[in-house]
Each structure stands twice: as C-alpha cells, then as structure tokens.
C-alpha cells in the first residue's frame, strides 16, 4: 500500500510538471473550467483542497468523495457577472467496499444575445444563446484509514449556434490524513487533449474579390485553431483546532501552479459551532503578480448543517468580491445527505 501511494504521488507531481509549462500561460480556452462551484469551497477561497469531503469536494479534490460515505444530492447556483449564471447539480452514492461514484452537471447561462449583421447592426430581432456544459463522472475510494484517492472524468461541450467544440478532461487527487485534524492533499486538474470549434456556421457561400476559392456560389470553410484547456496542480494543507466541545476552527492553505495564470496561494478558515452553524472566509494571493489588478477579492460565507436521523440538510451561502464589475458573486448551495 505504501508503494501504491508513492506511485500515485510521483504520478501527480510528474504530470503537474507537464501541465505547468510557462509557455502555455494565457493561451488556453475552455476557461469556464476555472469557475469554482459550491458555496463552502468558494467562501474559503478554494483553500479546502485537503479536507473537503462528499460532493462538495469533487471540483476541488475528487479524493474527498468517498470519505463522506452514504448518498448525497447537491444543487448550487451562482450569480457570476455580466448576466452570466452558473448552475451545478451532483448526485453520489457509496457502493460498500468498491468506493463511491458521483455524477455531476455544470452549465453556464449567458442569456439571450441579439443577432446583428452588417446590414442590421442594431439587431435583426432574433437572438441566440451559447450553451457551455460540463458532465462529470467521479470515482473515489479510501484505500487505507488515512489515504483516499479519486479521479474525475469530465466531458466538455461548447456550442454557439451551429458551431461546437467538444473535449475530455481528467482530474486526479489524493488526500492523506496525518492525524484526524491535520491533512494534506494534492491534485492535477484538467488534463486532456486540445479542443477545436467546427460546424456548418464555419462554412459560407460568398464571393471573395481576387480569390479563386470563393467564386460566386462557391463554398469555403473557415479553419479554426485548436486550443488547450487550463490544467493546473494543487498542493494543500489543513489543520483543525478544537477550542472546546462546541467550538472549532479549521485553517487551510493551497498552492496552485496554474499554466494559464500566475501561481496563486489560497487561504481559508472556517469557524464551526456545535457542528451546525459555520462562518467562513478566504483570500487568493497572486504570487509574482499585482494583486491590485486581480478580478476577484476576498470571500466570505456562512452555512447551516442540520442532521435528523439518517438525513442531513445543508444550506451554504458564499460571497466573492468582484473588482471589475458592479455586482459581486453570490453563491447558494443546498445539499441532502443520506446515511
């Protein structure tokens, strides 16, 4: 088992070296993969990579899924910015010694966008709405009483009218519990092949002056460039402090080596009262960059976890400051837990 764990950690660091190629910074597409989900994870600025469990952990570290046990259902909604909304739904179950499986669906709503043409620059009266969605299948297993591993396979689809781009991405993660209150986690996220747009909207019938490929009534196709997806590596620590029987505090930090942006340090904390009521906060620090120029600022939130018998009901809220837009992010998450 120790050899197996060592191989996993070596694989994580090896793949992260490939994903962290500095030459790829600022050259990726499908950046909606970087939009976080779940009010608890967002309220703590994405720092809880080492200790999140259950459905909430899938976006941050799929290794945490099997630790929660039982079955869960989760729904999350975020008012992003520029009239963009993020909807996320997930369902999971634990299959005895086999581990846990989960299914997730993430969609991005852009609203209706007016169609304009050269002849009608103010709009034709018609609208279109891009459809971006991510469908995920997650597997996680506790391989010892201290080590949990997990992987998440995501199917990506972007559609703008009759033009589409499809792709696949894989996340791999591990959580290791040194003690019940001190954990570490590592992940490699969004590893997959390049994507490319194609479709009938890229084929046009026109006449290009001085060209023999676009004669009147002829046909030519706009050839699109392929683009890479934004992979990144995370290394995280978390520590829980029990003040007394009713009060506890969780501290966490995560280093993110991102191939599309500067490296980031995430800091988060959570205060819990009687394991029922929670207050949270967090901050993202850009390493080697100007933090005054970042789009997002501090995060905060609160949560309520009520357990009755074998059923648990969780309601979480998160706020994330957005500096460049008049409205900030508001995130609401509801989760049902069955033991």
- pLDDT of the residue at 214: 46
Give yes or no: residues 170 and 98 share one domain: yes
Contact 336, 73 (CB under 8 A): yes
Residue among 188, 174, 185, 180 nearest 143 (CA): 174
CA 121 to chain centre: 36
CB contact at 8 A, 124 and 116? yes
Structure confidence at residue 90 (pLDDT): 97
Q: What is residue 138's predicted lDDT score, i.e. its pLDDT?
A: 97
For 184, other C-beta atoms within 10 Å of its C-beta total 16
Q: Answer with the one of 180, 209, 228 that is the final residue of a domain.
A: 228
Query: What is the extent of the structural domain holding 49?
Result: 2-188+231-338
Q: What is the pLDDT of residue 304?
A: 96
SS3 at position 80: coil
Residues 287 and 213 in one domain: no
| Whether 205 and 329 share a structural domain | no
Per-residue pLDDT of the chain (339 residues; tens, 9 = 90+): 555 455 555 555 554 444 445 456 667 888 999 999 999 999 999 999 999 999 999 999 999 999 988 899 999 999 988 888 999 999 999 998 899 999 999 999 988 888 888 888 888 888 888 999 999 999 999 998 899 999 999 999 999 888 999 999 999 999 999 888 899 999 999 999 999 998 887 776 454 444 444 444 556 667 888 888 998 999 999 999 999 989 999 999 999 988 877 888 999 999 999 999 999 999 998 876 667 778 888 999 999 999 888 899 999 999 999 887 888 899 999 999 997
- Do 102 and 243 lie in one domain? The reply is yes
**Residue 330: its pLDDT value, please?**
94
Residue 159 in contact with residue 84, Cβ under 8 Å?
Answer: no
Write the CATH number for 23.
Answer: 2.40.160.60
Same domain, 327 and 252: yes
Note whether 21 and 150 are same-domain residues: yes
Number of domains the chain is built from: 2
Task: Report the alpha-carbon distance of residue 98 to residue 141 in Å, rounded.
Answer: 7
Same domain, yes or no: 224 and 235? no
Secondary structure class of 81 (helix, strand, coil): coil
The answer on 324 and 245 residing in a single domain is yes
Among 228, 247, 281, the domain-final residue is: 228
Positive or negative CA dihedral for 47, 50, 56, 59? positive
pLDDT at 54: 93
284 Cβ contact list (under 8 Å, min separation 6): 45, 46, 264, 265, 266, 267, 294, 296
pLDDT for the residue numbered 24: 60
Rounded CA separation 256/119 (Å): 47
Which of 74, 96, 91, 183 has the alpha carbon at shortest distance from 141? Answer: 96
- 45 and 77 co-located in one domain: yes
**Residues comprising the chain, all counted:** 339
- 3-class state of residue 207 by DSSP: coil
Task: Report which DSSP code applies to 144.
Answer: S
In this structure, the answer to whether residues 202 and 83 fall within a common structural domain is no
- Residue 110's Cβ-count burial label (10 Å; 0-12, 13-18, 19+) is middle
Using CA atoms, how far apart are residues 25 and 30, in angstroms rounded to an integer?
13
- Which token pair is 133? 């969605």
pLDDT value of residue 210:
45
C-beta separation of 44 from 270 below 8 A: yes
Domain stops at, among 228, 251, 276: 228
Which residue is associated with the tokens 């933090």? 291
Q: Do 95 and 77 sit in the same domain of this protein?
A: yes
Q: Which two tokens stand for residue 148?
A: 């949990």
Query: Could you tell me if 172 and 272 lie in one domain?
Result: yes
Q: What is the pLDDT of residue 178?
A: 85
**Is residue 49 a contact partner of residue 185, using CB atoms and an 8 Å limit?**
yes
Residue ranges with strand state E in the chain: 71-79, 85-94, 100-109, 113-114, 127-128, 131-142, 147-160, 163-179, 182-191, 203-205, 219-221, 232-242, 247-258, 264-273, 277-286, 296-308, 311-322, 329-338
Give the β-pairing of 203-205 and 247-258. Answer: unpaired
Both structure tokens of 3: 């050899």
């Amino acid at each position: 088992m120790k050899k197996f764990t060592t191989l996993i950690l070596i694989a994580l660091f090896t793949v992260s070296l490939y994903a962290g190629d500095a030459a790829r910074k600022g050259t990726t597409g499908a950046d909606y993969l970087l939009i976080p989900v779940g009010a608890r994870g967002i309220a703590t600025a994405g720092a809880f990579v080492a200790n999140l469990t259950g459905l909430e952990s899938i976006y941050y570290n799929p290794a945490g899924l099997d630790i929660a046990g039982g079955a869960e259902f989760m729904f999350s909604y975020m008012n992003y910015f520029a009239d963009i909304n993020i909807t996320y739904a997930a369902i999971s179950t634990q299959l005895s010694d086999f581990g846990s499986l989960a299914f997730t669906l993430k969609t991005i709503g852009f609203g209706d966008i007016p169609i304009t043409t050269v002849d009608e620059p103010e709009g034709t009266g018609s609208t279109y709405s891009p459809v971006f969605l991510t469908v995920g299948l997650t597997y996680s297993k506790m391989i010892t009483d201290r080590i949990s591993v997990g992987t998440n396979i995501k199917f990506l689809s972007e559609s703008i009218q009759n033009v589409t781009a499809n792709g696949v991405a894989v996340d791999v993660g591990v959580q290791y519990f040194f003690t019940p209150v001190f954990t570490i986690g590592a992940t490699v996220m969004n590893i997959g092949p390049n994507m490319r747009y194609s479709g009938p909207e890229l084929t046009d019938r026109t006449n290009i002056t001085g060209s023999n490929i676009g004669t009147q009534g002829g046909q030519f196709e706009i050839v699109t460039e392929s683009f890479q997806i934004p992979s990144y590596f995370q290394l995280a620590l978390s520590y829980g402090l029990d003040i007394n029987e009713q009060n506890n505090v969780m501290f966490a930090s995560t280093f993110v080596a991102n191939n599309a942006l500067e490296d980031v340090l995430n800091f988060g904390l959570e205060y819990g009262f009687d394991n029922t009521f929670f207050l949270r906060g967090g901050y993202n620090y850009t390493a080697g960059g100007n933090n005054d120029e970042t789009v997002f600022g501090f995060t905060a939130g609160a949560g309520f976890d009520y357990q009755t018998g074998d059923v648990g009901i969780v309601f979480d809220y998160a706020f994330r400051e957005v500096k460049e837009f008049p409205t900030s992010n508001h995130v609401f998450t509801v989760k049902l837990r069955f033991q």
